[in-house]
Chain A
Amino acid sequence: MWSYLIRRLAYNIPVYFSILLLVMLALRVRDPVFGRLGKNATQEDITALRAELGLDRPFVYQYGDQVRQVVTFTFDEKSWDYDGQTVGEVLRRCIGPSLAITIPALILTSLLSISVSLVSAWFRGRTLDKSLVFVSVLGMSISFLVYIIFGQYFGAYRLNEYLGKDLFAIYYEPSASNATLGEFVTQVWPKYYLLPVMISVIVAMGYDTRFYRAVMVEESSRDYITTATAKGASHGKIMFVHMLKNALIPIITRVVITIPFLITGSFLLERYFGIPGMGNQLLMAVESGDFPIVQSFTAVFAAIYILSNLLTDVLYALVDPRVRLS
């Protein structure tokens, strides 16, 4: 098992460094300093800003420096938008809100859609199954943005109007960022984050349920299921013990596949509800040309993604003896 994990690590590390390379090259297609200062900038300003960020050094040095920042997780360059704050400080401030959306969304979506898919597979071919499949295809054909807009309208405006008090906030309020951890969990999260999370779950349910159902149906036609039935195992035992454990392998793959989707979702939700997460921050940085933030945030997103891939590999090894023992 260890040798397997080390192999996976050895594969992913070079991939990460090449991502970093690609990202840094792409970001230098346009001169970031021009982009920031505009056409009327003086030559001195340009030279000064370029020197500040070390953009005047050979590319190899810049690359090395970025690698150092990622490896040590320092990100000590100064943001151009936030006076006197380093990219690292901005990053640390943004990670929390992003995780507060993505992690609960990921967990809820997976649990719910796996349960629904099991129900669907259990009633395979019957009306309930058919309607679930039908509804999920319909749901998949509507844009994420439409869900968000209606989610806010019904979940916040109309509901608040109906209840006469603000259950879910329509838009984030900056004061919420000062909450302590306790306040965050009991007040801030339910008020500002729960609605976006629910929207995210509803959108993802269609895709995931359909996928998981297909997995369950596929698994249910396997020979070992017939063997187990012939042994006298009950329907429940077969679904929840024999099938589910085998299905964990495609399920884990799926969870990882949904991570980029989840990130996209959190970009939209953060943007729409004004939540100060990493996605929202990256978008603002792109708009204002805050190069240090764009560069480092991209690097962090790629790192998160690679790490989640590695995590999958670990999970595979835990679930599938064929991987563990090879």
Chain B
Amino acid sequence: MSDSSANDSRVLRKFLRHKPAVVASVVIAVYGVVAFVLLVVGVITLPDTLKRVGAELQPGLSSERLPEKRLLDCEWLIDRIASLSERRNPEKALAAFSDMGVRRIADVELDELLNRIDLAWESYDELADIEDVTAAAAGTLDDPDVPPPAEVRSMLTELEKRTDALLEPMTKAEKSTRWFELLLGTDRQGRSIFYRAVYSVRVAILIGLVTALLSVTIGTLAGLAAGYFGGWVDNVVTWFYSTFASIPNIVLLILLAFMFDGGHIDGPINKVTGGLLDRLIGGRLDETLIPVYIAFTATFWIGPCRVVRGETMKIKELEYIQAATVMGFGRARILLRHVLPNVTYLMLINFSLLFIGAIKSEVILSFLGLGVKKGPSWGIMISQSKSEVINSFFWQIGTATTFMFFLVLAFNVLSDALQDVLDPKHV
């Protein structure tokens, strides 16, 4: 323990030999970079994740959509534009449509546009006559009146081309943006699943980082103080963690969510502080992640506190610490120079474990409507996909789960490796 630098490099070497752990670290770093870019540079912004980018429940990876669905999508678009063009002031209505974000209406005279709409409808009508377009395109429909499958398919393509002509042609940049937007499909409201999932990396890393840091810091400080000073300090800390640990996590989280819900601190406590508390934070927390941070930290600090306290009590009894005490080193100095370095490994392991805890708890809280309130998160995405799954649409749940899976898996592997390397005695 005293030759800690030699020890450190040995530990580092052991860690680097652990290949899965190295891969896991790289994975975590990638997520971290994505989160950093999103936070600081802001490639994908909150509005990007909220706007409609196309038809609802579009599957991703440009996988073949059902002909029936393609037909419906065209119908929706033609119908929208047609009805706009029938307004009293069609130019204005059409211009407003373009503001919806995705693509503008083709920049042509109104007559020409109406002409194109007619063409599109014509194409549509032919196909709409067919009872089951999907079956017809696959050639499984037994009806002599229906054109052969190849022709049905080319009719569909033609319809899509004509529909497309209603809109302004896309530039190269627009095309590639579009490709990304539709990469993993769209949700029930036609929002880009890919954008939402990527944006959620930011939320996950923020929640994980903040709560794990806060919990580990608070837990370690409390644990160090309790273990080292003993006496009433120990009693107070033990009392706090026994108490917090005896309320099931979820109940505590719900309780805290109840406290912050609506955001106004108007109970007796507010009177005690002369209304200051409410003026400071009342009503401001709801939109932020702060209630989530507080709720998680309130339950997560117990773990690190408990182990650090135990370890500190053991270290305190070691000879060289005793010697340092006898030699009259200040207590603070002994704590910081001798005890703290010997519990850092516990802090690391706990950090990793709590990061996982935070990401997973976010999903649960968001499902219960108590977690992230603004914008997407993996929890929100998974909760929303509930109704999509019933319709056998798996793109949203699949994407959110996959994004979360690799991050959590990486942290799981990392935690294991850290435990192996730093705390071999651990079960």
Contacts and interface: CB of A to CB of B under 8 A. Distances in A.
A309 B266 contact: no
Given A144-B364, A268-B367, A30 B248 contact: no
B141 to A, nearest CB: 24
Contacts of A143: 360, 363-364, 378-379, 382, 401, 404
Interface in B253-292: 254-259, 261-262, 264-269
A261 B357 CA distance: 12
Interface string A276-311: 000100110011000000100010011001100100
Contacts of A15: 239, 242-243, 246
A153 interface: yes
A16 B28 CA distance: 40
A191 B390 CA distance: 19
Nearest to A17: B243
Given A31-B267, A153-B390, A141 B412 contact: yes
A150 B382 CA distance: 11
A271 B262 CA distance: 22
A92 to B, nearest CB: 19
Contact of A298 (B251, B267, B369): B251
A283 B370 CA distance: 10
Contact of A144 (B242, B256, B267, B360): B360
Contact of B250 (A34, A157, A218, A267): A267
A149 B385 contact: yes
Size range of the chain A interface in the assembly: 35 or more
Contacts of B405: 141-142
B363 to A, nearest CB: 4
B368 interface: yes
B408 interface: yes
Contact of A141 (B247, B250, B269, B408): B408
Contact of B390 (A18, A26, A31, A157): A157
A28 B268 contact: yes
Contact of B409 (A30, A138, A149): A138
Contacts, number: 144
Dominant secondary structure at the A interface: helix
Interface in B351-373: 360, 363-364, 367-369
Nearest to B361: A264
Interface in B376-427: 378-379, 382-383, 385-386, 389-390, 397, 401, 404-406, 408-409, 412-413, 416, 427
Given A34-B266, A146-B382, A283-B368, A260 B258 contact: no
Contacts of A287: 369
With a 10 A CB-CB cut-off, give which of A16, A157, A259, A267 has the most chain B CB atoms.
A267
A145 B382 contact: yes
A80 to B, nearest CB: 14
A26 B247 CA distance: 13
B253 to A, nearest CB: 9
A146 B251 contact: no
Contacts of A19: 243, 246-247
Given A30-B265, A141-B412, A149-B382, A282 B251 contact: yes
Given A140-B412, A143-B363, A144-B364, A30 B262 contact: yes
A64 interface: no
A69 B199 CA distance: 48
A76 B137 CA distance: 68
Nearest to B244: A22
A96 interface: no
Contacts of B397: 146, 149-150
A26 B251 contact: no
B390 A302 contact: no
Given A31-B266, A143-B404, A286-B258, A305 B247 contact: yes
A306 B268 contact: no
Contacts of A145: 363-364, 367, 379, 382-383
A267 B368 contact: yes
Interface string B36-49: 00000000000000
Interface in A3-20: 15-16, 18-19
B25 interface: no
B157 interface: no
Interface of B: 239, 242-244, 246-251, 254-259, 261-262, 264-269, 360, 363-364, 367-369, 378-379, 382-383, 385-386, 389-390, 397, 401, 404-406, 408-409, 412-413, 416, 427
Given A30-B258, A145-B383, A214-B427, 18 more contacts: A15-B246, A16-B246, A30-B259, A30-B261, A30-B264, A30-B265, A137-B416, A140-B412, A143-B379, A250-B427, A261-B249, A263-B250, A267-B368, A268-B364, A271-B367, A271-B368, A286-B258, A305-B246
